Chains A and B, each alone.
Chain A
Amino acid sequence: MGEPTLQLDHISFRYNDDAPYALKDLSVAVDKHEKVAVLGNNGAGKSTFFLCCNKVLTPEEGTVSLNGEVIGKSKKEINRLRQAVGLIFQDPDSQIIASTVESEISFGPMNLRLDESDVKRRIDESIQKMQLEEFRTRPPHYLSGGERKRVSIADILAMEPEVMLFDEPEASLDPYNVALLEKNLKMLHDQGLGIIISTHDVNFAWRWADRILVFNAGEMVKDATPEEVFADMDLLIQCNLEQPILYRIGEMFGLDPYPRYPEDIDVMQVHDSMCPYAGGDGHPTNEQCADHHHEMELVSDALHKHIEARSE
């Protein structure tokens, strides 16, 4: 097993000498192909963590490594880190500075001093991946929120990173654009990128992440799978987090495994967990239970058709 793509070792950071530590003795490693969610309430240190990952904020203590190599202070090393670890800011307007989508996406590659042909190729590929062709020559400030978010992602994609950090990407997006964002995240992950997302949405973290980092008051208090994180009630209370609704449904009805998506809910299993006449093998034991079974089958069919129609 090789070195992790991005590794932070014993990172500490504070904004000034009189302020409390925004990050305290943080160590974490993230690899390509990982889907990591970062949870924590406001002021827990999530955004500071992201800015330390690409050394926009220089940690007071600790090291940041890329593919096993510690990143020093030289401009060349820092640029290499920032090219490999792309950060998409919560507010796309903080990131967008150019007057057209095409020139905005070109900003990163131009800073890497690439050939013009390489810059053009990267712009074309990013625009195609994020489906921005019709907006190519339009001013980004006049696009909708969801479109600006796609521009800010295309911005970073053009730098061909290995890990992408998203700071609350679903904030201020409508449900349609959230679904589109999740589709784009799947596409990026399928291309081999490591993705770290900070979010307040525990439901999103539950269904999407392979691994969750929980922050509280500048410290990382848990680094575990979603099942382990949401089973730890003490942790959730300490960090003011709730259990995701599908997790609670799974727990309530004794489902195994707990559903990650609504379509994973086995209605028959829900019935069998509640009906006193249900047999252990899932077969009804009397006429009343058989009626329930029939109704539950109809409900299950209707639910799946509804989910399919919505996803179209």
Chain B
Amino acid sequence: MVATGILTMIVVWCMFYGVIPTVWLALLCVVLGVIFAVLSRHEHGDFFDIDMQAQRSRLLKMSPALKNWSVIALMFICIASNSPWVGLGLAVFCLIMTVIVGGIELHDYVALMAIPLVFMLISGLALLFEFSPEAAGVINIPLFGIWMFVPDVNQAKTILVMAKAFGAISCLYLLSLSTPMVDIIGVLRRAHIPDVVASLMYLIYRCTFIMLEMHHSMKDAATCRLGYCNLSTSIRTTGQIYSNLFARSYKKANNMFDAMESRCYDGDVEFYSTAKPITAVQAVFAIAVIVATLSATIVLY
């Protein structure tokens, strides 16, 4: 995760150079770099179950329908907004709701956030940099006779896109870290999405974890037999594991299917869940957040 920290520092520097004073920018880069380098670290072999986190959340008992539709509304508003402050504000709000109110560990939240962040940062670099025979940007880097530069227009565009993406992803994590998959699919069923889609969603979600578990145990077994003792052995071992992974996971999924058929599975994956009604307080709070976000979007447009 040191690479994530370094990438964060580079992208933040390029995005805000010339926008905020250099000293503050340097401090910001260091702080963000350290946060993502340190807090997003994980032990190799960790198996992070989002559903398990959702089961532990203090927001679990809140109506899943309210959470689901509120998050979707907030995501739409965030993507439609023309100001980066809306996305950033939503990201901070979701962090507070997930970590402080929901009780998820900050370390786990940052580790989860780091996964899409890497893709966002790489996309940010692609949005920032252009190439020209002349040095025409705020940051100019010579490259084999031409210039790789960052125009100020790209800076503004990248800041807006990154803020929107960050805000939207934070909303999704608020939902997935407070609502088990079964509840989310239950909400979508009641919204009349086709049963086959809902069942497929659940099975794909479950089978992803089957493959992860299989990979985890195969990797442990290979490590015990010095399968990662040097680079060439590691590459060979990784290839062998991945070539077997599909076959073994398929067999395990087959066993799972036999067990489901033994319990009269007929194509619909449905579970019993206790009703979680919407309370007045929850409804008022959700509406207030949506109205506030919408108002900010309109005012800052």
Contacts and interface: CB of A to CB of B under 8 A. Distances in A.
Given A94-B258, A97-B206, A139-B52, A103 B266 contact: no
Interface in B245-282: 252, 255-256, 258-266, 268-273
A49 to B, nearest CB: 14
A102 B255 contact: no
Nearest to B203: A97
A51 to B, nearest CB: 7
A293 interface: no
B34 interface: no
A112 B264 contact: yes
Contacts of A107: 260, 263, 269-271
Contacts of B268: 111
B52 A142 contact: yes
A92 B194 CA distance: 30
Interface string A84-95: 001101010011
Contact of B271 (A87, A98, A120, A142): A98
Contact of A111 (B51, B206, B263): B263
A110 B271 contact: yes
B182 A110 contact: no
Given A79-B264, A111-B266, A99 B255 contact: no
A51 B258 contact: yes
A239 B122 CA distance: 63
Category for how many chain A residues contact B: 35 or more
Interface string B48-72: 0101100100000000000000000
A75 interface: yes
A100 interface: yes
A94 B51 contact: no
A302 interface: no
B33 interface: no
A119 B274 CA distance: 11
A106 B255 contact: no
B264 A108 contact: yes
Interface string B24-51: 0000000000000000000000000101
A109 B272 contact: yes
Nearest to A106: B272
B181 A99 contact: yes
A139 B49 contact: yes
Given A97-B256, A98-B271, A82 B55 contact: no
A139 B51 contact: yes
Contacts of A142: 52
A137 B54 CA distance: 12
Nearest to A139: B52
Contact of B261 (A82, A109, A137, A155): A82
Given A75-B266, A97-B206, A98-B182, A119 B272 contact: yes
A159 interface: yes
A98 B259 CA distance: 13
Nearest to A82: B264
B55 A87 contact: no
B87 interface: no
Contacts of A89: 255, 258-259, 262
Nearest to B255: A94
Contacts of B255: 89, 91, 94
Interface in A237-256: none
A106 B264 CA distance: 12
A102 B260 CA distance: 16
B180 interface: yes
Nearest to B268: A111
Point out which of A79, A83, A99, A123 has the most chain B C-beta atoms below 10 A from its C-beta.
A99
Contacts of A54: 262
Given A56-B258, A95-B259, A97-B206, A120 B266 contact: no
A156 interface: yes
Contact of B270 (A94, A110, A139, A156): A110
A212 to B, nearest CB: 24
B123 to A, nearest CB: 32
Nearest to A80: B264
A82 B52 contact: no
Nearest to A91: B255
Contacts of A156: 263
Contacts of A94: 252, 255-256, 258-259
Nearest to B181: A99
A138 interface: yes
Given A75-B266, A111-B265, A137-B55, A97 B272 contact: no
A98 B55 CA distance: 12
A100 B180 CA distance: 10
29 contacts: A51-B258, A79-B264, A82-B262, A83-B264, A87-B259, A89-B259, A89-B262, A91-B255, A94-B258, A94-B259, A97-B256, A97-B259, A99-B51, A99-B180, A100-B55, A103-B272, A106-B271, A107-B263, A108-B263, A108-B264, A110-B272, A111-B263, A111-B266, A111-B268, A112-B264, A120-B272, A123-B272, A139-B52, A156-B263
Given A87-B259, A94-B255, 15 more contacts: A56-B262, A82-B263, A87-B262, A94-B259, A97-B259, A97-B260, A99-B180, A100-B182, A103-B272, A103-B273, A106-B272, A123-B272, A139-B55, A159-B263, A159-B264
Interface of B: 49, 51-52, 55, 180-182, 206, 252, 255-256, 258-266, 268-273
